[in-house]
A and B are shown apart, each in its own frame.
Chain A
Amino acid sequence: MKYYRNHILVSINETSLAAGVQEFISSLRNELAKNDLAEEINILETGPLGFFGRGICLTVYPENINYEDVKIEDIPELVQEHFLKGRPLKRLMLGAAEKFSPKFNYENRIVLRNSGIIDPENIDDYIGTGGYEALEKALTQLRPEDVISEVKKSGLKGRGGAAFPVGLKWSFTAALNVPQKYVVVNADEGEPGTFKDRLIMEGDPHQLLEGVMLCAYAVGANKAYIYIRGEYKLCIARLENAIKQAYQYGILGKNIFDSGFDIDIEIKIGAGAYVCGEETALIESLEGNRGNPRWKPPFPGVEGLWKAPTIVNNVETLANVPFIIAKGAEEFVKYGTPECPGTKVYTILGDVAYPGLCEADMGTTLRTIINDYAGGMKKGFRFKAALVGGAAGVILPDRLLDVKMDFSSLNQYAAVLGSGAILVLNEHQSIIDLLWSILRFFRHESCGKCSPCRNGTEQLYKLISKIRKGNGTMQDVDLMLFIAETMQQTSFCALGQSPIMAVRSAIENFPDEFIELTKK
């Protein structure tokens, strides 16, 4: 094996592709060769590095220095300074101006542990970091019920928003004695401001596949579908590539590891409806129907895709499973809180210094996430509010900054962790504008099946628009609350039950804005 003095990790993601990363890499390669460094410095193409610098981002090992927004014209200077003279180029370093060094707390990573480190398009990289060991262990040493009991012991809860205990969900389906069962991966990530699943799939697609296979083995399914957003082009390409490689290696297909276990995984591309993130609507869509939700019960675990028992799990949920099986539940519960073990991947955006992605222990406070992982507020701005959990989430004011970010702690504030999206607003932003935008989103994404949601989302949008224009009254504000509450109580699925979260938290936490705008 060849030894290099330095490794340059180049993030290949949708953002860097748009910034021309391919051309950049060949220029960098040329420049290194010109300086006779080709044998000393290695360039690795990886998935997302886990922080959201602008443009093309690099991480240089072993120094662990991050550069952001590097342009082709910067290459000569970068090579001269960093790789010849050994002086990191301050000008391009991430957070140099704000004197901020983002936490790359790799010890505290489960889901993203390989992201930004391995080449997501190479199965050997994944195997080299211990990939598919969990699958091998499960297929050769564990019975399906052992896998389920390990997952139960880990306390893993669904990461898509509903936080249902994963092991329990699997055990319902595993208990059914029927010839056909399915596993469906919910990769239809549509919560506004959420893109964690995208980066998990872009950065480490094999980890997801391994999670799917473990789940299928545990519940007795031999067919899995990954229902993925159509916009996630790179994810789709990488997953397709990963599936192809896994088939070539005999990790997917028939009689895996001579265990007698068969599994096929197929990708199904969604058409962009938010409601298709709801598991029963997703199943309808997968069957080729209009994406409308189905009534529960029967739950998909009992009667799902084509009436067969079906496990629907979020990408992040399944991506946790290989770790649990490989390292054991006792290792997993060292992370997070006793009630919500493990980590959570957050997407942080808005007026923070470094919007992006981070993986932190369950129970980390909102303040820590914003300050330590996202570099605090953008320079010159003060924190006003954070929308936590996407459009179906709540708007938290600064007095709740020390709330612990886990499923049970947030419940105390009638808030939800949801998908883990955090949108931070500065003191100049209008809560009413935010609410308007959320309600416009719900109006657009309501599937129209049930009358409380169909008519309610329109009424809410009309009312907030009126208030926003300064034509509303406090009666309109009350009416909004009343409609949203009726929707919560009578809507068919979670979509219509959700707007109350944003409406109530906006009105309760920021009453002055409503009073101000309706004063006439």
Chain B
Amino acid sequence: MAKTVNVFIDGHHLEVPDTMTIIEAADKIGIYIPRLCYHPDLPPTGNCGVCVVEISGNPTPKRACCTPVAEGMKIVTNSKKLRTYRKTVVEMILSNHDVTCPTCSANNKCELQSLANNLGVDPDALPSILVKKPADDSSLSIVRDTNKCISCGRCITVCNEVQTVCALTFADRGIDTHVDTAFSNGMANSPCVNCGQCTVYCPTGALHERSELDAVWEAIFDPDKHVIVQEAPAIRVSLGEEFGMPLGSVTPKKMYAALRKIGFDAVMDTNFTADLTILEEGTECVTKLKAGEKRPLITSCSPGWIKFMETYYPDLADCVSTAKSPMSMFGVLSKTYYAQEKGIDPAKIVSVAIMPCTAKKFEARRPELSDSGYQDTDYVLTTREFIRMIKETGIDFANLQDEEPDAGMSFYTGAGTIFGATGGVMEAAIRSAYYLVTNTDLENVDITAVRGLEGVKEASVDIPGFGKVNVAVAHGLSNARKVLDQVREGLATKGESPWHFIEIMACPGGCVGGGGQPYGNDIASRARRGLALYEEDRNLPVRMSHHNPEVLKIYEKFLGEPNSKLALKLLHTHYFKRSIFNGQITEEITHKHQ
């Protein structure tokens, strides 16, 4: 039971629960204690030693991040002594850091850089003790540059505790301490699911996406190539903040304009295939419901979740929707339907996806995702890479004139756009499943029970003619585990899952909190971006996927109907079992629809 205690921070008296740490109490009254390894989203580790404060009665300073407040505590956050020690601690960190700020991927976003700058440290105060080591670039998604790592441990905390993937750990001791994968086999040969949350929480440039910018520029400049681009739902609410607009600005039309200025030949939208996914996955769900299936249907859009499932829950692979992700549906259609419609040789089409995600880079390289006869998606750029592209081109994003996307695969409904927030896929699916069962539209399409940032959300939806449909939504893989363990237990003990339909997103907050999102991607900003998507949904003329005219057109002209033979061939996939030791495929566990 938390007690309320009186503490004094720099003379300010405040009453706070005794479960709070000093840094939380100080933040509450707007006193910013310099910090480096501490992040409000993660449990503190006390690794960096920057946030030390003086507490009366203690001979040495204490860490504000992990020291709980206590009754009568008198705290000084700034003094001559503290200033000197903090500076020296940061100077020591810099003496073991590869200081290449101008070219670093984290430049201007680096927390070490701004801390050093704020404290006025002398970069030459101490001789360098850095021993350079090669970067781990084995992964298709993430590059790990040990030379920039300050061993704060945030990546390990987020990987092990928030995502429960357990790909990263500290290895060796003392000055040789470094973040590593098991047996130093590299990220590609680890259980890493490529979610990229480590890149989001890394305070420096030690962890970042594997950049494919150069290859995309090459394609754009190649006159023989037809470069078509799609953007995930979350992108349109994550750009403005980087260009002086308020966090959570909804900017799809500026996004199209920027892409056209950059030189993409066709600017379309992933939201279109999000709507398409709803029809494919929704049809799958309704078929299962009607058949009285005891095993649940779980969404398949999140590639981090898919690899996690293949690694840790392969026994549930048959429960995962076979529908490809919206990105991969777009990829395969860009080289079939689109090529056919436009009369372009699919060999000349370069399909680029802009994603809030690092795992999409891995997904795009899955060999089985080549049902067009080519690699369906050629390149994936993260939001951060896209922002770099805009900046490189000198585009004044905030003042761009709105532009419309190219027609064909770009029209989207409110259901498609909320895919980017946790619970969005579920809400979109319910809107259409209701229609698929009853042939009438839901009167109130806002299913607020599945919105918000609670780790696991549950709801029960009454569908006339069928009855109660129980659904669950989990975001962040530790929450996914909670749901999946209950599914396992339900199947083992009662022979049925507690839920009929489950949405899982690898990243906390869903795609708006993806591993490819702009730096400073904390829980609070994820929440803000999620709200922006719901705001866009509310303002769109069409809010249900089954009313998307371009989707109806593609079924009419090309695919036939949802889950048709062609749809199953092009829009559905299958899964593998992977080793928890090295993440490699050990067997094909579900099979492609015949």
Give the contacting residue for A445; candidates B96, B127, B174; CB below 8 A. Answer: B174
Complex formed: what's the CA distance from A459 to B176 in Å?
13
Residue picked from A443, A486, A488, most chain B C-beta under 10 Å: A486
Binds A, one of B59-67, B402-410, B428-436: B59-67
With A295-B46, A451-B150 in contact, is A488–B175 under 8 Å at CB? Answer: no
Q: Which of A420-448 contact B (CB under 8 A)?
A: 443-448
B153 contacts across to A, CB distance below 8 A: 449
Contact B174 A451 (CB under 8 A): no
Complex formed: what's the CA distance from A101 to B174 in Å?
45
Q: How far is the CB of A73 from chain B (nearest CB, A)?
A: 47
Closest A residue by C-beta to B169: A290
Contact B174 A492 (CB under 8 A): no
Q: Which of A428-481 contact B (CB under 8 A)?
A: 443-452, 454-459, 462, 479
Complex formed: what's the CA distance from A482 to B87 in Å?
12
Q: How far is the CB of B58 from chain A (nearest CB, A)?
A: 11
Complex formed: what's the CA distance from A490 to B96 in Å?
17
Contact A447 B173 (CB under 8 A): yes
Closest A residue by C-beta to B61: A489
Contact A448 B151 (CB under 8 A): yes
Contact A448 B46 (CB under 8 A): no
Closest B residue by C-beta to A463: B127
Q: How far is the CB of A335 from chain B (nearest CB, A)?
A: 30
With A451-B151, A455-B175, A458-B129 in contact, is A490–B95 under 8 Å at CB? Answer: no
Complex formed: what's the CA distance from A443 to B177 in Å?
11
Contact A486 B85 (CB under 8 A): yes
Contact A452 B49 (CB under 8 A): yes
Complex formed: what's the CA distance from A458 to B151 in Å?
15
Q: Does A491 contact B (CB under 8 A)?
A: yes
B88 contacts across to A, CB distance below 8 A: 482-483, 486
Complex formed: what's the CA distance from A295 to B44 in Å?
10
A297 contacts across to B, CB distance below 8 A: 67-68
Closest A residue by C-beta to B126: A459
Q: Does B235 contact A (CB under 8 A)?
A: no
Complex formed: what's the CA distance from A412 to B49 in Å?
28
Interface string of B115-132 (1 = CB under 8 A from A): 000000000001101000
B81 contacts across to A, CB distance below 8 A: 489
Q: How far is the CB of A408 from chain B (nearest CB, A)?
A: 16
Q: Does A154 contact B (CB under 8 A)?
A: no
Complex formed: what's the CA distance from A483 to B95 in Å?
12
A444 contacts across to B, CB distance below 8 A: 173-174
Contact A455 B92 (CB under 8 A): yes
Complex formed: what's the CA distance from A446 to B152 in Å?
15
Interface string of A484-497 (1 = CB under 8 A from B): 00101111100001
Complex formed: what's the CA distance from A490 to B92 in Å?
12
Q: How far is the CB of A282 from chain B (nearest CB, A)?
A: 16
Q: Which of B121-177 contact A (CB under 8 A)?
A: 126-127, 129, 150-153, 169-170, 172-177
Q: How far is the CB of A17 from chain B (nearest CB, A)?
A: 31
Complex formed: what's the CA distance from A183 to B322 in Å?
54
Instruction: Tell me how many residue pairs across A and B have CB atoms closer than 8 Å.
Output: 104
Closest B residue by C-beta to A497: B60
Q: Does A79 contact B (CB under 8 A)?
A: no
A455 contacts across to B, CB distance below 8 A: 92-93, 95-96, 129, 175
Give the contacting residue for B174; candidates A447, A479, A488; CB below 8 A. Answer: A447
A32 contacts across to B, CB distance below 8 A: none
Contact A451 B127 (CB under 8 A): no
With A450-B47, A490-B49, A490-B61 in contact, is A459–B173 under 8 Å at CB? Answer: no
With A297-B67, A443-B175, A489-B52 in contact, is A451–B47 under 8 Å at CB? Answer: yes
Complex formed: what's the CA distance from A462 to B169 in Å?
27
Closest B residue by C-beta to A274: B173
Contact A486 B89 (CB under 8 A): yes
Complex formed: what's the CA distance from A479 to B63 in Å?
24
Q: Which of B63-80 contact A (CB under 8 A)?
A: 63, 66-68
Complex formed: what's the CA distance from A443 to B96 in Å?
14
Contact A454 B89 (CB under 8 A): no
Contact B67 A295 (CB under 8 A): yes
A490 contacts across to B, CB distance below 8 A: 49, 52, 61, 85, 89
Complex formed: what's the CA distance from A483 to B129 in Å?
14
Complex formed: what's the CA distance from A417 to B175 in Å?
28
Q: Does A345 contact B (CB under 8 A)?
A: no
Q: How many residues of B contact A (CB 8 A)?
A: 37
Q: Does A273 contact B (CB under 8 A)?
A: yes
Q: How many residues of A contact B (CB 8 A)?
A: 32
A497 contacts across to B, CB distance below 8 A: 60
Closest B residue by C-beta to A488: B60
Residue picked from B63, B85, B153, most chain A C-beta under 10 Å: B85
Contact A446 B175 (CB under 8 A): yes
Contact B89 A451 (CB under 8 A): yes
Q: How far is the CB of A391 from chain B (nearest CB, A)?
A: 14
Give the contacting residue for B170; candidates A290, A452, A488; CB below 8 A. Answer: A290
Contact A454 B170 (CB under 8 A): no
Residue picked from B46, B61, B85, B175, most chain A C-beta under 10 Å: B175
Contact A454 B46 (CB under 8 A): no
Closest A residue by C-beta to B178: A448
Closest B residue by C-beta to A290: B170
Closest A residue by C-beta to B66: A295
B61 contacts across to A, CB distance below 8 A: 489-490
Q: Does B502 contact A (CB under 8 A)?
A: no
Complex formed: what's the CA distance from A450 to B62 in Å?
13
Q: How far is the CB of A121 from chain B (nearest CB, A)?
A: 36
Q: How far is the CB of B110 from chain A (nearest CB, A)?
A: 16
Q: Does B48 contact A (CB under 8 A)?
A: yes
Residue picked from B52, B92, B96, B126, most chain A C-beta under 10 Å: B92
B173 contacts across to A, CB distance below 8 A: 273, 444-448
Complex formed: what's the CA distance from A444 to B175 in Å?
8
Complex formed: what's the CA distance from A131 to B116 in Å?
62
With A482-B88, A491-B49 in contact, is A454–B129 under 8 Å at CB? Answer: no
Q: How far is the CB of A233 from chain B (nearest CB, A)?
A: 24
Q: How far is the CB of B312 from chain A (nearest CB, A)?
A: 21
B44 contacts across to A, CB distance below 8 A: 295
Complex formed: what's the CA distance from A422 to B87 in Å?
36
A445 contacts across to B, CB distance below 8 A: 173-174
Q: Which of A65-119 contact B (CB under 8 A)?
A: none
B66 contacts across to A, CB distance below 8 A: 295
Interface string of A260-288 (1 = CB under 8 A from B): 00000000000001000000000000000
Give the contacting residue for A462; candidates B45, B52, B127; CB below 8 A. Answer: B127
B96 contacts across to A, CB distance below 8 A: 454-455, 458
Q: How far is the CB of B220 from chain A (nearest CB, A)?
A: 43
Q: How far is the CB of B33 from chain A (nearest CB, A)?
A: 13
A492 contacts across to B, CB distance below 8 A: 46-47, 49, 63
Q: How far is the CB of A287 from chain B (nearest CB, A)?
A: 15
Contact A449 B129 (CB under 8 A): no
Give the contacting residue for B151; candidates A454, A457, A479; CB below 8 A. Answer: A454
Complex formed: what's the CA distance from A180 to B174 in Å?
34
Q: How far is the CB of B97 from chain A (nearest CB, A)?
A: 9
Interface string of B508-539 (1 = CB under 8 A from A): 00000000000000000000000000000000
B129 contacts across to A, CB distance below 8 A: 455, 458-459, 462
Residue picked from B45, B49, B67, B81, most chain A C-beta under 10 Å: B49
Complex formed: what's the CA distance from A457 to B176 in Å?
11
Q: Can you identify 26 A-B contacts, CB atoms within 8 angstroms?
A: A290-B170, A295-B67, A445-B174, A446-B173, A447-B174, A448-B172, A448-B173, A449-B177, A450-B46, A451-B47, A451-B48, A451-B49, A451-B89, A452-B49, A452-B92, A454-B96, A454-B177, A455-B96, A459-B126, A459-B127, A462-B127, A479-B126, A489-B52, A490-B61, A490-B85, A492-B47
Mark B residues whose CB is within 8 Å of A: 44-49, 52, 60-61, 63, 66-68, 81, 84-85, 88-89, 92-93, 95-96, 126-127, 129, 150-153, 169-170, 172-177
Closest 10 CB pairs of A and B: A448-B177, A446-B174, A455-B92, A458-B175, A490-B49, A486-B88, A295-B66, A452-B49, A458-B129, A448-B174
